[in-house]
A and B are shown apart, each in its own frame.
Chain A
Amino acid sequence: DGGITQSPKYLFRKEGQNVTLSCEQNLNHDAMYWYRQDPGQGLRLIYYSQIVNDFQKGDIAEGYSVSREKKESFPLTVTSAQKNPTAFYLCASRELAGVVTGELFFGEGSRLTVL
């Protein structure tokens, strides 16, 4: 079945450590996104990419980094520079061309806790 796979589902990190969250999609979508979700907050955009080897900062990119070496993969690294990294992270993708709504398809999320 086509979909978006995020791993790990749960992750614990010590302060000062970098961690990388994986996101893989087999929907052949052009665009991929990373959002952060905190209690009582809307989803906030961290980074997005519309084509391989290119990506753009979202609203809260500081302390995060991404890469897009393959169309199906868009990993997110939460660096030690991120001041408050504990959150639920959602990866999403969508088709760009020839679509009516262009809705996002989301992965199951990765919950990161900093100890």
Chain B
Amino acid sequence: GQNIDQPTEMTATEGAIVQINCTYQTSGFNGLFWYQQHAGEAPTFLSYNVLDGLEEKGRFSSFLSRSKGYSYLLLKELQMKDSASYLCAVKKDSGAGSYQLTFGKGTKLSVIP
């Protein structure tokens, strides 16, 4: 099976930097996604890591260490609109172009003035 852990809630100040961690235990790991989900809305894709290292995309960056089973999402210059849940999802290939995706429970980020 797969076990994915994320903090349940975090609070950060507008303009600051926040790091949301995700740890996982799985066999057959083949990538990790981060999604953003505003309350009552659809999750939207933020980033994907399959190799170790940092992927930067504007104010958002995502890091992966496969050997440690660890990823983080880094949000810089926080804005009020960044208040949302952030979902970590681990990908495990199951052959023929198919994969299994297991989601963590999500981290609810509140950005305060």
Indicate, yes or no, whether A interacts with B: yes
**Residues of A near any B CB (own CB < 8 A):** 4, 31, 40-45, 50, 88, 90, 96-97, 100-109, 111
Residue of A nearest to B48 (CB): A101
Q: Which chain B residue has the least Cβ–Cβ distance from A50?
A: B98
| B105 and A102 form a contact (CB under 8 A) | no
B29 at the interface (CB under 8 A from A): no
Q: Are A96 and B106 in contact (CB under 8 A)?
A: no
Q: Are B4 and A97 in contact, CB atoms less than 8 angstroms apart?
A: no
Q: Does any Cβ of A come within 8 Å of B21's Cβ?
A: no
B residues with a Cβ closer than 8 A to A are: 4, 8, 31, 33, 40-45, 48, 87, 89, 97-99, 101-106
Q: Please state if B4 and A42 are interface contacts (CB–CB under 8 Å).
A: yes
Q: A90-B42, A103-B48, A104-B45 are in contact. List 10 more A-B contacts (CB 8 A).
A: A40-B105, A42-B103, A42-B106, A43-B87, A50-B97, A97-B97, A101-B31, A104-B43, A108-B42, A111-B40
Complex Cα distance, B99 from A109, in Å, reads 22
* A95 nearest CB neighbor, chain B only: B97
Report the bound CA distance from A76 to B98 in whole Å. 21
Contact status of A90 and B98, CB under 8 A, knowing A41-B105, A101-B48, A103-B33? no
Please state if B41 and A108 are interface contacts (CB–CB under 8 Å): yes
Report the Cα distance A31→B4, complex, angstroms.
Answer: 24
